Chain A
C-alpha cells in the first residue's frame, strides 16, 4: 500500500523539483495568453539605480534565466509598455525591445567585442551606399540625390574619403585609412552597443547608413526608405504589393527604431545631462 502511494507521487515530485527559479514563464515555444494583470517597474537599490520589470509581482528574466536590469528609466518604461500592450496573447515576434535586450544581456553566442567589430568591418567593404547602378537613368539620379548626402556627411564627420562606384570589380574601394577610422570609431562602443549596431546594420544592409542613424542625421523612416532605395524605385514603376512591401517596411522600421532606442539609452543617460557635449 505504501509502496503504491510512493510510486504514484514520484512523478509529481520530479516535476516539482525541475521547476527551478530559472524559468522565463515558459514563453519560448507556445502561444501564451497574457497571464499577468499589471506591469510595473521596480528600482533596485544600488548606486547606479537599476530598474527591473515586474509582471504582477514576478520579475522578468531573460531566456537564460538572468534577471533583466536596465539602468535607464525610459528604456525600462518602454519595455514595460511593450509587455503591457499585449492584449490577449503574448506576441513575442513583435516585441523587439524585449528580444534585443535579451540578446544583449544574455549574449547566447558568446561573441566577443573583437569578433563583433570584425563582423561589422566585413560589411563595410561591400556597403550598399558605395555601389551604384547606372542603368535606368532615373534610378541613377535617385541614388545620387539620396545617397550622396550620406557620404558627404560621413566624410565630413570622420575626415574620410568614401567614394561610390558604378563597377563591381573595383579593388580597395574603401581605403585603409578610412577602414581604420571607422574601426576606431566602432571600438569606442561597448559590447552591448555593438551587438545593437550589428543588428541595425544587418537590417539596413549598410554600415554607413547605420552610422548616419546613430548620429541622428536622418530619421528612422527616412533611413529605412534609403536602405531600400531600389525597391522603392521599382514600386514607383510597378506598384506596391501591400502584403510584401508594406510589411517589409514596417518590419524594418519597428526593428530599427527599437534598436536605436536601446542604443541611445545604453550610451546616454537621458535623465542626467552632466557633460557639455555628447560625442556619439
Chain B
C-alpha cells in the first residue's frame, strides 16, 4: 500500500485524537503537543544523525495505526455484540408476528370429577 507522507500521518493523528468525542479539546492533550514538537524537531535531524530515513515517521505511523485500530475494534464490537435476536425479532425478519396469547385463569388442580 502506498505509504503515507508525514503530513497525512500528522493530520490523521490529529483527526483520531479529536474524534474521540472527548470531554476536552485535543489541543489540551499533551500528546498533541509532543507530536507537534517531534515533527518539528525531527525534520532536519534525520539526515544529520545518519538515522535510517523516516525512522521516527514509522513510529508516528505505528501510533496512527494503533489509534485507528482501537477505534475500529470498538465499532465492530459494538455493532456485532448485540447478542441473539429474540423470537419476536427473528419472526419479524420475514414479516411474521408472534400469535396473540390469552391470559386465562388457572384451572384448579384438584378438579373433583363427578361420578
Chain A contacts to B: CB under 8 angstroms = 37, 40-41, 73-74, 77-78, 80-81, 84-85, 87, 91, 94, 96-97, 216, 219-222, 242-243, 246-247, 250-251, 253-254, 257-258, 260-261, 264, 270, 273, 275-278
**A276-B69 in contact (CB<8A):** no
**A85-B65 in contact (CB<8A):** no
Contacts A261-B62, A273-B45; A278 near B55 (Cβ below 8 A): yes
**B66-A258 in contact (CB<8A):** yes
**A85-B20 in contact (CB<8A):** yes
The chain A residue sitting closest to B49, CB to CB, is A273
B106 / chain A contacts, CB cutoff of 8 Å: none
The chain B residue sitting closest to A84, CB to CB, is B29
CA distance A247 to B73 in the complex (A): 6
**A254-B59 in contact (CB<8A):** no
Q: What is the predominant secondary structure among interface residues of chain B facing chain A?
A: helix
Q: Contact check: which of A84, A264, A275 meets B22 at CB < 8 Å? A: A84
Query: In the complex, how many angstroms separate the beta carbon of A263 from the nearest chain B beta carbon?
Result: 10
For residue B50, CB closer than 8 A to chain A, the reply is yes
CA distance A250 to B50 in the complex (A): 34
A275 / chain B contacts, CB cutoff of 8 Å: 49
The 3 A-B pairs of least Cβ separation, nearest first, read A243-B80, A257-B66, A254-B69
A77 / chain B contacts, CB cutoff of 8 Å: 30-31, 34
For residue B14, CB closer than 8 A to chain A, the reply is no
Q: Contact check: which of B17, B30, B76, B77 meets A41 at CB < 8 Å? A: B30
Residues 65 to 91 of chain B near chain A (Cβ within 8 Å): 65-66, 69-70, 72-74, 76-77, 79-80
